[in-house]
Amino acid sequence: VCIIGDFTNASPNEKALNAVRLWIDCGIKLGYVKEDHYIITHRQSQRPHYTDW
């Protein structure tokens, strides 16, 4: 699961965060996610003035 966007100046909105929470809760109830699960996050760093795509 991921929330895609530019969160340099703001965090994901509550609607997006609640959707992830509900998805995890559903996974727990159905037995696909452990009660003692953990979340790993990732943030790609910026490369100022990098335009060599």
Query: Per residue, what are the HEC states of 1-53?
Result: CCCCCCCCCCCCCHHHHHHHHHHHHHHHHHCCCCCCCCCCCCCCCCCCCCCCC
46, two tokens: 């910026």
Q: Which residues of the chain have pLDDT under 70?
A: 47-53
Q: Give residue 19's domain range.
A: 1-41
19 inside domain: yes
pLDDT value of position 18:
96
For 2, phi and psi rounded to 5 degrees?
-150, 155
- Total structural domains in the chain? 1
11 inside domain: yes
pTM over 0.85: no
51 inside domain: no
47 inside domain: no
46 inside domain: no
53 inside domain: no
**How far apart (Å, rounded) are the C-alpha atoms in residues 36 and 34?**
5
49 inside domain: no
10 inside domain: yes
